[in-house]
Each structure stands twice: as C-alpha cells, then as structure tokens.
Amino acid sequence: DTGVSQDPRHKITKRGQNVTFRCDPISEHNRLYWYRQTLGQGPEFLTYFQNEAQLEKSRLLSDRFSAERPKGSFSTLEIQRTEQGDSAMYLCASSLTRGANTGELFFGEGSRLTVL
C-alpha cells in the first residue's frame, strides 16, 4: 500500500511523559501536514511542511509540541510533558503542490493518543 502511514496507531501514556508520532507520506508528495482531531470535532490544523521546511504553525502548537521533517520525507511530531488535554487523534496528511490537481490532502489513519 502506498498511502500515508502513521505509527503508532494508538498510544497510552501517563501525564508528563513525552511521546513521538511518525508519519510517512505518499512518496512523491512534497507537502506534509499535521492535524489534531478531538472527539466529535473536525480536524484542526497544527503545522505544515513543504519538503523539509516548516512553513506554517498554528497557535494550537504550543512550545511543548515540535515537528520535524529532516530529509523532506517522513515527519515526526513530538509532544513533551504530555497533559490530559493532549488526548486526541493526530492525523498526518500529504499533498502535491497545487497546479493541475485540486490539491486535496491524502490522510493517514491517525495516531490516537490517550493521556492518563
């Protein structure tokens, strides 16, 4: 399967611990996005990369959150000193630079975080 893959799919951690999620986008996609989705809500934008450059960050991305895409391929999202409010589904998406296509995002299945 050549879709967007995320790992781990589920993570349970205790408050105060650090967690890291990995996203492998579709190989030819140069754009990569992280979204957060809480129960009953739509996804909320966190951050966006074009190749290895992080071009945009949401106000939702506090200083406990850091994202990287070191070689312009896979990306990691790290949350330090987790809080119960961080419990959510973390969705990764990728896309091609807009042009002839509509620029739709292709999403992975998400990483569900539960902070106890």
Binding-site ranges for other proteins (CB under 8 A): 31, 33, 40-45, 48, 50, 55-56, 89, 91, 93, 98, 102-110, 112
Give the shortest CB-4-to-other proteins separation in angstroms: 9
Give the shortest CB-96-to-other proteins separation in angstroms: 12
Give the shortest CB-97-to-other proteins separation in angstroms: 9
Label residue 55 left, alpha or beta by phi (over 0 means left) and psi (-120 to 50 means alpha). alpha
Q: Which is nearer to other proteins, 9 or 81 (CB)?
A: 9
